[in-house]
Amino acid sequence: MTNGKVKAWRKTLYEDHGYPDNYTPPEYFLAAIEKNKNLRVYSMSECFSGAAEVGQELSLVIIFWSCYKFLKTDLMQPQALLGIMLGLLVLGCVGCGRKATLCGVFSGIRTTCFFTIIGFALSPVLYKLTDTISTDTIHSMALSSLLLHLLTSDYGMSAPPVSWQISLNGAVFSSVCLASRFNHHLSAFSLLCLSVFCFLLIPLSRPVLLVSPLRSSIMLGSTALSLLFFISIPQLCLAMISLATVQLACPVFFHKLQSDKQTIHGPWDEAQPVGRSG
């Protein structure tokens, strides 16, 4: 109701209606309650797609660790690893040829050459860098850095921990720690190149290759488990459990929990300025 001084009540800011700021008519209080307003419900396919983003990054970490063990135990020569990466890089350039711009290809080649030259120049120093530190300590530092890489990687969601700078630095620091355990600088150089290939080039090429996260996670997961089969059966079982938990159990559990999520909005929420809906 209105009169000469008091206007009809509206839930707005910066306008004097003649009512106290915390006033709400009794008949509006319960009627204004809204449940699950603007609530986003994810489908099962979206849940699996999001989990695949995490799964493929975890698979890359497992592949990196497996190749380190191969080099350390002489199951693979550094020349063979460099040749495999070069072949994959050529195939990737061919696959991206029609989809990538000239500027993007040039930028990728420039970044690759920069890291390759720096890594080759520093490899004679790196493989003798931590002779006075025990191998267990080096492995613990490398594991912590890889965990930091997984926690701060960009999985397609904006969150406070996400930082590609910290993620890349953690992966490079881990490769530097592990490269210091070799007895030849070429092995250290090949591991540094593998770090750049897995944690820099592959993430940069995903938008261009347009490979679905589900298909990519299956290919990378199969490769990671195949490599671990030749290293350690217990590590293979642990990796299988980890990948199954991340890519199967977590998305199913998250999808079921969405039905229990409830949000309530009402007159206790902050009022909005005049001109916007209350």
**Does 13 map to a domain?**
no
Encode pLDDT of 155-175 as tens digits: 877 777 788 889 988 998 998
Encode pLDDT of 36-57 as tens digits: 777 778 889 989 998 999 999 9
pLDDT at 2: 45
Determine how many CB atoms are found less than 10 A away from the CB of residue 105: 14
Output the six-digit token pair for 252.
């199913």
**Does 153 map to a domain?**
yes
Greater model confidence, 27 or 244: 244
Output the six-digit token pair for 152.
């701060």
pLDDT at 108: 64
Encode pLDDT of 93-123 as tens digits: 776 655 555 565 666 677 777 777 877 777 7
pLDDT at 159: 73
Q: How many independent structural domains does the chain possess?
A: 1
**Does 7 map to a domain?**
no
The residue type found at 54 is V
**Does 265 map to a domain?**
no
Greater model confidence, 81 or 161: 81
Instruction: Kindly indicate the confidence band of residue 135, based on its pLDDT and cuts at 50, 70 and 90.
Output: confident
**Does 248 map to a domain?**
yes
pLDDT at 144: 94
pTM: 0.77
Determine the average pLDDT of the residues in 65-75. 92
Greater model confidence, 262 or 168: 168
Determine how many CB atoms are found less than 10 A away from the CB of residue 118: 12
Cα(10)–Cα(19) distance, integer angstroms: 10
| Domain hosting residue 156, numbered range | 49-255
**Does 219 map to a domain?**
yes
* pLDDT reading at 31 higher than 60: yes
Phi (first) and psi of residue 272, to 5 degrees:
-110, 155
**Does 137 map to a domain?**
yes
- The rounded percent of the chain whose pLDDT value lies above 90 is 29
Instruction: Kindly indicate the confidence band of residue 258, based on its pLDDT and cuts at 50, 70 and 90.
Output: confident
Q: Is 207 helix (H, G, I), strand (E, B) or coil?
A: helix
Which residues, including other chains, have CB under 8 Å from residue 68's CB and lie 6 or more apart?
178, 191
In the numeric block, the tokens 């930082």 are attached to 163
Cα(198)–Cα(174) distance, integer angstroms: 13
**Does 41 map to a domain?**
no
